[in-house]
Structure 1
Amino acid sequence: MGKINIKMIILSIAIIGMLIPAGFAANDKQAVITYGETTYKNANYKNAVDTFFENQAHMDLKGVNSKIITAKEVNKISSTITGKQYNSNQIFSSALVNLNDNGNLKVTVDKSKITTITGNMYLSALKSSGITSGHVYVTSPVTATGESALTGIMNSYEVVTEVEIPDTVKKAANNEIYTQAEIVKESNVSADDLSNLVDDVKEKVQEENITDQPTIVNIINNYTIKYNINITDSDIENLAESIVQLQNAQEDIENYQTELNNALNSTNANLNTGFLEGLFN
Structure 2
Amino acid sequence: MKKWLTIVAVYLVLFSLVLPSTALASSGDQGINEKLGLPIVVYGEALTDAQKAEVKELLEVNQHEQVDEFTVNGQDLANYIGGNPNSNMYSSVKIIHQDNGQGLNIEIVTPDNITQVSKEMYTNALLTAGVENADVLVASSVKVSGHSALTGIYKAYDAKGVKLDEDRMQVASEELDIATEIAEEQGIDQAKISELLTEIKKAIAEQDPATKEEVEQIVQEQLQSLNIELSPEDRQRLADLFDKMRNLNIDFDQVRNQLNDLTNGLQDLINDDGFWNRIVSAIQDFFRALANFFNSLIGE
TM-score normalised by L of structure 1: 0.71
Identity %: 24
In 2, Cα distance between the equivalents of 1:45 and 1:205? 42
2:21 aligned residue:
none
Alignment coverage as a number of residue pairs: 221
- How far did 1:216 drift? 1.9
1:59 aligned residue:
63
Is the 8 Å Cα contact of residues 32 and 159 (structure 1) preserved in structure 2?
Answer: no
1:75 aligned residue:
78
In 2, Cα distance between the equivalents of 1:58 and 1:227? 43
Cα 1:211/1:116, change in 2 over 3 Å: farther
Segments of 5+ residues of structure 2 without an aligned counterpart are 1-27, 255-300
1:189 aligned residue:
188
Is the 8 Å Cα contact of residues 71 and 86 (structure 1) preserved in structure 2?
Answer: yes
One of 11, 32, 35 as aligned partner of 2:40? 32
In 2, Cα distance between the equivalents of 1:77 and 1:232? 30
Is the 8 Å Cα contact of residues 26 and 100 (structure 1) preserved in structure 2?
Answer: no
- How far did 1:215 drift? 2.4
1:6 aligned residue:
none
In 1, Cα distance between the equivalents of 2:42 and 2:210? 34
- How far did 1:229 drift? 1.6
Q: In structure 1, what residue type is equivalent to 2:182?
A: I
- Range that drifts further, 173-182 or 113-122: 173-182
In 1, Cα distance between the equivalents of 2:205 and 2:124? 14
- How far did 1:157 drift? 2.6
- 1:88-107 residue pairs with structure 2 within 5 A? 88=87, 90-99=88-97, 103-107=102-106
1:49 aligned residue:
55
Is the 8 Å Cα contact of residues 121 and 194 (structure 2) preserved in structure 1?
Answer: yes
- How far did 1:175 drift? 1.4
In 1, Cα distance between the equivalents of 2:54 and 2:231? 39
In 2, Cα distance between the equivalents of 1:240 and 1:30? 39
In 2, Cα distance between the equivalents of 1:153 and 1:119? 14
Is the 8 Å Cα contact of residues 175 and 242 (structure 1) preserved in structure 2?
Answer: yes
In 2, Cα distance between the equivalents of 1:101 and 1:52? 25
Is the 8 Å Cα contact of residues 35 and 93 (structure 1) preserved in structure 2?
Answer: yes
2:223 aligned residue:
224
SS of residue matched to 1:30: coil
- How far did 1:152 drift? 1.0
In 2, Cα distance between the equivalents of 1:231 and 1:78? 26
Q: In structure 1, what residue type is equivalent to 2:74?
A: A
In 2, Cα distance between the equivalents of 1:105 and 1:58? 23
SS of residue matched to 1:38: coil
Asked if residue 113 in structure 1 is aligned to residue 120 in structure 2, the reply is: no
In 2, Cα distance between the equivalents of 1:244 and 1:58? 44
Segments of 5+ residues of structure 1 without an aligned counterpart are 1-20, 258-281
Q: Give per-residue Cα distances to partners, 1:82-131, cap 9 Å, x unaligned.
A: xx62524x211111111158722100012111111111111112222333
Is the 8 Å Cα contact of residues 130 and 165 (structure 2) preserved in structure 1?
Answer: no
Query: Moved runs in structure 1, 4+ residues, more than 3 A?
Result: 76-79
TM-score normalised by L of structure 2: 0.67
In 1, Cα distance between the equivalents of 2:116 and 2:211? 29
In 2, Cα distance between the equivalents of 1:86 and 1:229? 36
